[in-house]
């Protein structure tokens, strides 16, 4: 097989996997982990159940991969933001909150994260991995909080706790944006930032 075909096949495979994962986010967050079957995910992705099994062995595997990719991507973005030089901490926090709240799928992702940590039917290894990644992803935000405290712009307190409160608040606001059930109150990032401003 020529290299061009191998590259094309890999690209098609990656696209199909992403299609499955994107479909899984919406269907699992809407129906719940326990009520979603692998055939529900296949149907939402527009593929046959046989094709689905070509990519994933189980619903648990799909669920774990959605969460892993999302948390690793999130962690990379917040780590890069924490390392950026010459940007005040409050501006970093503002940008982070604005980008999270602007993403129209984050309500579903937030539901999946909470389900993974609180639903007994989710395998323990998935629950633990999600919790570990969530905790690790607080570290770069805690560094931003600490930088802001040194700048005199962020309220005093344990930076890790402040990071936890910040993320929890953003996730809670995100949940209010579930399609068809939005709360008719505008979310103003500037108002959110005042809660953490010194």
Contact 141, 82 (CB under 8 A): yes
CATH code for the domain of 138: 1.10.357.10
pLDDT in tens, 63-72: 888 888 888 8
d(Cα 93, Cα 98) in Å, to the nearest integer? 8
What is the Cα–Cα distance from 52 to 14, expressed in whole angstroms? 13
Alpha carbons within 13 A on the beta-carbon side of 144: 33
Indicate whether 47 belongs to any domain: no
35 part of a folded domain: no
Instruction: Indicate the length of the chain as a whole number.
Output: 198
Residue for token digits 């999302």?
A: 70
User: Is residue 45 in a domain?
Assistant: no
Residue 54 lies in a domain: no
Q: Is the pLDDT of residue 138 over 60?
A: yes
Residue 4 confidence (pLDDT) above 70? no
Give CA–CA dist 34/169, Å, rounded.
26
Residues 6+ apart with CB under 8 A from 127: 116, 117
Domain of residue 136 covers 60-194
Q: Phi, psi (5° rounding) for residue 197?
A: -80, 135
What pLDDT shows up at residue 89? Answer: 96
- Rounded Cα–Cα distance for residues 70 and 79 (Å): 14
Specify if 39 maps to a domain: no
Q: Tell me how far apart the alpha carbons of residues 56 and 61 are, in angstroms, rounded to a whole number.
A: 6
Q: What are phi and psi of 133, to 5 degrees?
A: -65, -40
Single pTM value for the model = 0.80
Phi, psi for residue 181 in degrees, rounded to 5: -130, 25
**1 pLDDT more than 60:** no
d(CA 61, CA 14): 16
Contact call for residues 56 and 38 (beta carbons, < 8 A) = yes
Q: Is residue 9 part of a domain?
A: no
Q: pLDDT digits over 35-58, tens only? A: 888 888 999 989 898 888 889 888
Q: Chain-wide mean pLDDT for the chain? A: 87
Check: CB of residue 96 under 8 Å from CB of residue 80: no
* Most trustworthy range by pLDDT among 26-30, 55-59, 75-79, 107-111: 75-79
Q: Enter the tokens of residue 158.
A: 């344990």
Flag whether 100 is in a domain: yes
What's the total number of domains in the chain? 1
- Dihedral sign for Cα 93, 97, 100, 102, please: negative
Q: Is residue 79 part of a domain?
A: yes
């Amino acid at each position: 097989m020529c290299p061009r075909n191998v590259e094309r096949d890999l690209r098609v495979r990656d696209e199909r996997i992403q299609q499955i994962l994107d479909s899984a986010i919406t269907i699992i967050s809407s129906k719940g982990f326990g009520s979603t079957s692998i055939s529900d995910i296949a149907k939402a992705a527009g593929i046959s159940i046989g094709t689905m099994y070509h990519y994933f062995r189980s619903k648990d595997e799909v669920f774990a991969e959605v969460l892993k990719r999302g948390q690793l991507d999130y962690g990379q973005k917040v780590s890069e933001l924490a390392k950026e030089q010459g940007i005040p901490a409050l501006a970093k926090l503002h940008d982070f909150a604005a980008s999270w709240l602007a993403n129209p799928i984050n309500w579903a992702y937030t539901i999946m994260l909470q389900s993974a940590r609180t639903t007994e039917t989710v395998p323990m290894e998935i629950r633990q991995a999600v919790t570990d990644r969530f905790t690790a992803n607080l570290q770069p935000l805690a560094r931003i909080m600490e930088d802001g405290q040194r700048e005199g712009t962020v309220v005093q307190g344990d930076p890790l706790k402040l990071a936890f409160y910040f993320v929890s608040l953003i996730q809670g606001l995100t949940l209010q944006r579930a399609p068809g059930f939005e709360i008719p109150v505008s979310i103003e990032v500037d108002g959110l930032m005042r809660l953490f401003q010194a």
